[in-house]
Amino acid sequence: MTSATTEATTEATTEKIASSTSPKTVTSDKRFKVLNATMKRHHYQQDALIEVLHQAQESFGFLELEVLEFVARGLKLPLSRVYGVATFYHLFSLKPNGKHTCVICMGTACYVKGSDKILTELEQKLGIKVGQTTADGEVSLMSARCLGACGIAPAVVFDGEVAGKQDENDVLATVKTWQSLT
Ligand code: FES
């Protein structure tokens, strides 16, 4: 199978899995393709659930409902089972506490283009560490490992929207708009 054919197949499978969740977000967000590739690598076996959730958390920073639904459909498991596993293990976080979420990609492509500087700057300016939420409850700062958007590194996700070619100033400017909205 050529790489173009493989990519087309992965895309088709991602869309199929997405079909009863939220097609628009799922098919336009490359992180779901990364997640689907992980499930495919495990031959969509149900006992790969924890590893798949790991990948999901690394890609998304946390496990929102849409992601859990995508995994449930991909592995043909009841959502209740996927949700149960995700809530049982402390290493998985279902939702950041903040009103807004900023996820910095720390994958290799983004890291070499300075995502570590973005993260350090943000931690300093917000006075929190990655994984924490500001005292005013406005911003949760998370990290992920490869959002599937390496071509636009460094990539950052603001409230679910992926933004590319970011630097410290861009990210701070966006985060400040959230804080000034209070
Ligand atoms: S390493 Fe950041 S998007 Fe791939």
Per-residue pLDDT tens for 134-182?
Answer: 988 899 998 888 888 899 999 999 988 889 999 999 999 999 998 775 5
For residue 130, what is the domain's CATH number?
3.40.30.10
Helix, strand, coil % over all residues of the chain, rounded to 5: 55, 10, 35
> Residue 91 Cα, ligand 1 centroid: separation in angstroms?
22
Q: Are residues 27 and 80 in the same domain?
A: yes
Same domain flag for 168 and 120: yes
Average pLDDT over residues 120-127: 95
Domain count, the chain: 2
Dihedral of the alpha carbons of 119, 125, 129, 131, in degrees to the nearest 10: -70
Using CB distances shorter than 6 Å, the residues near ligand 1 are 105, 107-110, 146-147, 149-150, 153, 155
Q: Which domain holds residue 55?
A: 3-88
Indicate whether 94 belongs to any domain: no
**pLDDT value of residue 93:** 86
Tokens of 83: 């949700």
Q: Are residues 113 and 71 in the same domain?
A: no
pLDDT for 18 equals 62
Q: Give the pLDDT band (50/70/90) at residue 4.
A: low
- Residue 95 located in a structural domain: no
Residue 93 covered by a domain: no
Higher pLDDT, 21 or 62: 62
Separation of CA 105 and ligand 1 centre (Å)? 6
The ligand 1 atom nearest the CA atom of 111:
1
- What pLDDT is stored for residue 3 in this prediction? 53
pLDDT at 1 over 80: no
- Sign of the alpha-carbon torsion through 86, 80, 138, 57: positive
Q: In terms of pTM, does the model score above 0.85?
A: no
Q: Which of 33-37, 82-86, 87-91, 116-120 bottoms out in mean pLDDT, i.e. has the lowest?
A: 87-91
